[in-house]
């Protein structure tokens, strides 16, 4: 009798297999096509892993783990380099929160710049000078950034310092949540902001140019790679590593700003956990799997080594989870980074109504306007189905339900 594996294995003509942890979760045809394209690259293997939140991305699929030998695909990492999550439990409980949560949300929105550039004004940057916490973080990044700019001067023309400690827009968020014991958590989602985007765009373009110059035939032009041992590869590894450090620092600074903002509204004195869970879900690093030295790109996936803590958020109106990795070798010790989109942003705006959104977020203090319909719960997969599909990858440590949500 054949034993059913927790994953589905797709055979790819002319490529390595794709293993998908998607039982009970819908997967769009476009995502399957992108996974197959990635699996056909000669640098990829022994197989591609897809998490249950998998959905169409640019070039490489969001929710995929791409192992490469002697090469890195910049577009597989993407432009939101180091994007990820941070979460910290506080000593507060639900009854310590004010009866009306709007002032708490307002305080957080004032404390952390968020949003996007509009009519020449970047609402998501510090208007004057960054706070002391951001300056301290920048001091650990400045010298290496100057060295990057000496080689790639276009990177200097970014909001690198003025974005440190800011949220961004789109699906980035700050939330206050309650766990199963009604303890208050702070959780937020962001990455390397404008400078990470500039690094990603710059090196993706360089990889495309190299593929055209060398007449490399690709199933998708966004799957061009840098080969190890070349100068562009070395430059990219240095740049992407810096952006990942920036992203982690960005989240840590914002966490401190949110905690300070909360203290201005909440009467009860409180502390936060000594060490927060701070994890990337768009990044690349060298790892050893199956006795092979590989570059592992997690594009919308989280490291889930045995005992390692991670964060898997749901949508604005759904539950989120603090998880502990089970160290599953078959998934390259990885798990999903969230629920995963089931509707594109444009499709969500076409199909969802403001009444739908208001009903789905009835118990959350958050934006309830048409501008966030693409982030409404119905735009995402069922987080419970996503968690069930990866039961062999992680175990749930805490279940969180948001009560305040700030969206960019």
3-state SS of the chain is: CCCCCCCEEECCCCCCCEEECCCCCCCCHHHHHHHHHHHCCCCECCCEEEEEEEECCCCCCEEEEEEECCEECHHHHCCCCCCEEEEEEEEEEHHHCCCCCHHHHHHHHHHCCCCCEECCEECCCCCCCCCHHHHHHHHCCHHHHHHHHHHCHHHHCCCCCCCCCCCCCCCCEEEEEECCCCEEEEEEEECCHHHHHHHHHHHHHHHHHHHHHCCCCCCCHHHCCEECCCHHHHHHHHHHHHHHHHHHHHHHHHHHHHHHHHHCCCCCCCCECCCCEEEECEEEEEEEECCEEEEEEEECEEECCCCCEEEECCCCCCEEEEEEECCCHHHCCEEECCCCECCCHHHHHHHCCHHHHHHHCCCCECCCCHHHHHHCHHHECCHHHHHHHCCCCEEEEEEEEEEEEEEC
Whole-number pLDDT of residue 115: 87
Q: Which CATH superfamily is domain 8-342+380-407 in?
A: tRNA-splicing ligase RtcB (3.90.1860.10)
Over the stretch 220-238, which tens digit does the pLDDT of each residue have? Answer: 999 999 999 999 999 999 9
Q: Which of 114, 172, 281, 337 is catalytic?
A: 337
Active site residue 398: no
Q: How confident is the model over 150-179, as pLDDT tens digits?
A: 999 999 999 999 999 999 998 999 999 999
- Give tens-digit pLDDT for 378-406: 989 999 999 999 999 999 999 999 999 99
Question: Domain limits of the chain?
Answer: 8-342+380-407
The predicted structure's pLDDT at residue 2: 56
pTM for the structure as a whole: 0.96
User: Is pLDDT above 60 for 313?
Assistant: yes
């Amino acid at each position: 009798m054949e034993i059913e594996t927790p994953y589905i294995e797709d055979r790819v003509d002319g490529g390595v297999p794709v293993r998908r942890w998607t039982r009970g979760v819908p997967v769009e045809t476009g995502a399957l096509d992108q996974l197959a394209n990635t699996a056909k690259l000669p640098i990829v293997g022994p197989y591609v892993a897809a998490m249950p939140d998998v959905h169409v991305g640019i070039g490489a699929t969001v929710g995929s783990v791409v192992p490469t030998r002697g090469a890195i695909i910049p577009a597989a990492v993407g432009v939101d380099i180091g994007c990820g999550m941070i979460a910290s439990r506080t000593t507060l409980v639900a009854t310590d929160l004010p009866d009306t949560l709007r002032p708490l949300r307002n305080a957080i929105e004032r404390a952390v710049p968020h949003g996007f550039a509009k009519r020449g004004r970047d609402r998501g940057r510090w208007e004057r000078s960054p706070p002391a916490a951001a300056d301290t973080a920048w001091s650990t990044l400045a010298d290496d950034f100057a060295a990057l700019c000496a080689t790639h001067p276009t990177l200097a023309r970014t909001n690198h310092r003025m974005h440190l400690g800011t949220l961004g827009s789109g699906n980035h968020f700050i939330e206050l949540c309650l766990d199963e014991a009604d303890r208050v958590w702070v959780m937020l989602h962001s990455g390397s902001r404008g400078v990470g985007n500039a690094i990603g765009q710059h090196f993706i373009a360089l990889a495309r140019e190299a593929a055209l110059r060398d007449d490399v035939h690709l199933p998708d032009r966004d799957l061009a790679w840098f080969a190890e041992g070349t100068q562009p590869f070395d430059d990219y590894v240095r740049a992407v590593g810096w952006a990942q450090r920036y992203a982690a620092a960005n989240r840590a600074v914002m966490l401190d700003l949110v905690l300070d903002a909360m203290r201005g509204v909440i009467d009860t004195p409180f502390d936060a956990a000594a060490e927060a869970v701070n994890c990337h879900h768009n990044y690349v690093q060298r790892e050893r799997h199956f006795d092979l030295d590989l570059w592992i790109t997690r594009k919308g996936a989280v490291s889930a080594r045995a005992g390692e803590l991670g964060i898997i958020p749901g949508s604005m109106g759904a539950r989120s989870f603090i998880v502990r990795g089970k160290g599953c070798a078959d998934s390259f010790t990885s798990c999903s980074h969230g629920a995963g989109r089931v509707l594109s942003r444009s499709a969500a705006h076409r199909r969802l109504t403001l009444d739908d959104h208001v009903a789905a977020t009835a118990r959350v203090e958050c934006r309830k306007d048409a501008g966030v319909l693409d982030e409404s719960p119905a735009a995402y997969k069922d987080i419970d189905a996503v968690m069930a599909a990866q039961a062999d990858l992680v175990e749930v440590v805490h279940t969180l339900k948001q009560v305040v949500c700030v969206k960019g």
